[in-house]
Structure 1
Amino acid sequence: MKIVHISDIHLTENGTEIWGVNTHEHFQKAIQKIKELDGLDGIIVSGDLSNDGSKWTYEYIDRAFEETGVPTYCCPGNHDNLEMFYQGYKPSYYKICEKFELCGWNFIMLNSVVPDMSRGYFNPDVLMRLLKSSNGPVAIVLHHPPVNQDGWLNRKLLDNKSHFKEIIEHFHNVKLVLYGHSHYASFRTFEDIIYNCSPSIGFAFSPNLPKFEIACGKEGFSLIDTSNDDISINTILI
């Protein structure tokens, strides 16, 4: 299986810049990079598609993903408008679902968003139900980091991350956890589970820079390959 993991697009209506950054331009560069990749089985988006929650941004993103021709699946982030994300806009191409199967893998798209809060929280009952119904290897996708982050990025995490860890410890078929929110590429392994934070498409940060200083040139996405019973992850900068 070969997939792209994208996070934190932060698109704004009519191209309004964020902190002097043109997130529209970055998104288009990412789409072009994805089009140049061969053999992709899917695109996984771990939240913050929109920065302002406008219907226009979701329509724009939907059309852009359709151009790739690659099946695309999304979960929300704290900047997404949950009402618009789940009910207001019905995407014609990208899919919103709790769970799907791809190349023998089970993907759980876990909503970790609490309205009007930057920190995250997931429903343990939902995760338990979805895991119990999953056969074969499992990848869990959510927006907020379920593990500690480096430096000043270790903030506004998943509030009940200890509960997350307790649950997945009982399911040995969980192999991969994909998340975003930190705007910084990181890769770590705990108890044979790989945790991958995709770099942001919109604008990047770094624990090695002052708080909220833009890490120019570090925007991008993750390319994940599970061939030969191994999981390899590479960062593709845009």
Structure 2
Amino acid sequence: MNAEKLQLTEFHKDRVIIQITDTHLMDRPEAEFVGINPEENFHAVMDDIKQQYPHVDAIVHTGDLAQAAFPETYDRYINYMKEFGVDFYHIPGNHDNLRFFPFHTPEPRPAVISIGQWRIILLNSAVSGQTDGRIQNEQLLELKKILAQLQDCFVIIACHHNPFEMRSKWLDQHKLKNADELKAVLEPFQNIKALIHGHVHQESFNEWNGIPFISTPATCVQFKPLSQEFAFDQIAPGYRCLHLKASGEFETVVHRLKNFKVTINEEISGY
């Protein structure tokens, strides 16, 4: 096969990406948070990814990378991911420090990941000093320009905060506050295949305008679904695989760690 045909075959083949989210890493690898060790959880998830998907194309982290959001936390994460040997990308969450966060592109321009015919657009929904989210107007304008240029590609949007309510009173007050503005930007484009997000520490699915809005379990602790008051869920951490097809369709599945002992400090009353 000549080089041109090989390149064309590579462009049109199916792809696999992994979404991880809400690692909440501490400044020291041995440090605990709400009765667990976030570093151990994170590494256990990454080990499972390596076993399940040895040929993954990219890993996308959808925010709350750090709980102790210091430069040393981010440096340790970056070094670990480089050693893992897979292309990796990340966006900030409300627990991240925007001064130290290792953005892929200068604000407000979203980063765009190219994987064959697919493009993954990384949005920043984190606002310094706030738990809830908002995508700044300048970023939405940039997003609109980018989408206009990508109409021949299949697009996935990634942000941290949930655009849809989770039917949990305590959690819904911290959703993406300008979700309607985001949807107004997305609405004219027919090639947006999904929006993936974190923040809610649980698996969920909503659909709007034919676009699935999907959340993924945290590698850290899980939140109890449909809970009006703050509550943890006694369920193992996990991650999401997205199998992106050359046809523009995709399949997705959530994996949770097996034989994983959950040890959470239930006395914690807020997060």
| 1:227/1:100 CA distance change after superposition, 3 Å | closer
Q: Aligned AA for 2:149?
A: S
The DSSP-based 3-state class of the residue aligned with 2:145 is helix
Specify the alignment match of 2:76 in structure 1.
Answer: 60
How far has the Cα of 1:228 moved from its partner?
A: 6.3
Q: Relative to 1, partners in 2 of residues 1:5 and 1:82: Cα closer, same or farther, differing over 3 Å?
A: same
User: Contact 1:112–1:120 at 8 Å: present in 2 too?
Assistant: yes
Which residue in the other structure is 1:16 paired with? 31
State the AA in 2 paired with 1:101: S
TM-score by length of structure 1 reads: 0.90
Whether the aligned pair in 1 keeps the contact of 2:110 and 2:124 (CA below 8 Å) is no
Aligned to 1:172: 190
Shift in alpha-carbon separation, 1:29–1:210, aligned structure 2, 3 A = farther
SS in 1 for 2:241: strand
1:222 correspondence with 2:240: yes
Which of 161, 165, 175 aligns to 1:144? It is 161
The amino acid of 1:221's aligned partner reads Y
Amino acid at match of 2:162: P
Shift of 1:155: 2.8
| 3-state SS of 1:17 partner | coil
2:168–2:229 CA contact under 8 A, matched in 1: no
Instruction: Map 1:115-126; keep pairs closer than 5 Å.
Output: 115-123=128-136, 124-126=140-142
- Are 1:98 and 1:108, in contact at CA under 8 Å, matched by a contact in 2? yes
- For residues 110 and 195 of structure 1, what CA distance do their matches in structure 2 show? 14
Identity %: 28
Across the aligned residues of Structure 1 and Structure 2, the Cα RMSD in angstroms comes to: 2.0
Q: Answer whether contact 1:31 1:65 (CA < 8 A) is retained.
A: no
Match of 1:49 in 2: 65
- The count of aligned residue pairs is 231
Unaligned runs of at least 5 residues, structure 2: 1-14, 258-271
Contact 1:7 1:198 in 2 (8 A): yes
1:110 pairs, out of 123, 126, 132, with 123
- 1:34, 1:68 within 8 Å by CA — same for their partners in 2? no
Structure 1 residue 122, shift from structure 2 partner: 0.5
**Cα deviations by residue, 1:152-200 (Å, 9 ceiling, x for unpaired):** 3323111100111111011111111010100111123222212111111
Q: Which SS does the other structure have where 2:99 is aligned?
A: helix
d(CA) in 1 for partners of 2:179 and 2:96? Answer: 21
* Structure of greater Rg: 2
Give the conservation status (yes or no) of the 8 Å contact 1:209–1:215.
no
Aligned residue identity for 2:254: T
By how many angstroms is 1:232 displaced?
1.4
In structure 1, runs of 5+ residues without a counterpart are none
